[in-house]
Amino acid sequence: MPAGIVGIGSAVPGRILTNRDLEQMVETSDEWIRTRTGIRERRVVSPGETATELGLRAAQRALEVAGLEPEAVDLIIAATSTPDTVFPATAVRIQKELGARRAAGYDLSAACSGFVYALHQARYLVEAGAARHVLVVGVDLLSRITDWTDRSTCVLFGDGAGAVVVAPVAEGQGILASRLGADGEGGPHLYLDAPHARHTVGGRPEEPLPFIRMNGQEIFKFAVRLVVEETQAVLDGLGLSVADLDLLVPHQANIRIIEAARERLGLAPEQVFTNLERYGNTSTASIPLALDEAWRAGRLKPGDLVVMVGFGGGLTWGTVAVRWSLEGRP
């Protein structure tokens, strides 16, 4: 039986950080940020807020839409680069808070492609009959790994979470195709050192905190090429064309990346969903957050073809094509 998305939800922190706020922190301007990235504001956690809490809220909404009790969940996969603890995994922390007593759980590390990687895994576990209800959570608190003195990166990122429930759906619906890729050669263009990587026997904890490091221009070129090639490839594999695509939901990194890819693919503006102007780049959360907003805004109805394309650190990328099966919000 095919696997599809039967529940979806998202959550963002309450605190809004505007471009004007950033003007007070680094040498930048609202005008530069808007024209170079499309971002107007982003959400950031306050001290004490956790990735677990945000992921939990998104997960609870997804279960509510699916009409499922937490006990129905077999597995939780949390894609994150910013866990509250390395172990227990974020997925297991969410399992406890959710009361999903029957569920196993693990975290998945694929940077901004994490949600799509996890969705691919969930698809095949459900299709194989190894699990019936898989909760896939994408949560990142990029504000915790951003260098707030570096204007070339700090204007880009935000915090958020999104979740879906993957379960069996009727023939012809659900996930039609999914593809993953990686190229470790590009790793140095976008990376985050692990906090303990340089610790040695007898050493003292005096290393500075690690932050995201990025070669923006290299990632920009990679991202445009990737979104174009992978969207085309997933459609080709299904014997479909861009005219059949109802909604492209790309990773929300930069409006110029999305616009360049849209033009090269020959897609109309209404075939592409963006919400990065309000959230910035939320890494693994960006696709489920956008998908959830698109659905709640009535941009997705049963039978629609939606393609999600993630890309990011690794370098990694992933594409999922879905024949949407969730009814609209009542």
* Single-letter amino acid, residue 89: A
- Between residue 213 and residue 252, which ones bind ligand UT7 under the rule CB under 6 A? 214, 216-217, 219-220, 223
Question: Which residue among the candidates 120, 189, 251, 254 is catalytic per the annotation?
Answer: 251
Residue 98, exposed/middle/buried by CB under 10 A (0-12, 13-18, 19+)?
A: buried
281 is catalytic: yes
Residue 256, exposed/middle/buried by CB under 10 A (0-12, 13-18, 19+)?
A: middle
Within 13 Å of residue 149, how many CA atoms lie on the same side as its CB? 0
The answer to whether the CB of 178 falls within 8 A of the CB of 125 is no
> Which of 9, 12, 17, 37 touches ligand UT7 by CB under 6 A?
37
User: Is 149 a residue that touches ligand UT7 (CB under 6 A)?
Assistant: no
254 is catalytic: no
- Nearer to ligand UT7 by Cβ, of 40 and 151: the residue is 151
Task: State the binding string over 172-191 for ligand UT7 (x if CB under 6 A, else -).
Answer: ------------------x-
- Nearer to ligand UT7 by Cβ, of 74 and 150: the residue is 150
User: Is 152 a residue that touches ligand UT7 (CB under 6 A)?
Assistant: yes
- Nearer to ligand UT7 by Cβ, of 87 and 148: the residue is 148
Q: Looking at the chain, how many residues does it have?
A: 330
Tokens representing 315?
């370098």
Q: Is 32 helix (H, G, I), strand (E, B) or coil?
A: helix
- Nearer to ligand UT7 by Cβ, of 74 and 259: the residue is 259
Closest CA to 276 of 135, 166, 158: 158
Q: What is the binding site for ligand UT7 (CB under 6 A)?
A: 28, 32, 36-37, 112, 151-152, 155, 190, 214, 216-217, 219-220, 223, 253-254, 257, 281, 312
The catalytic residue positions are 112, 251, 281
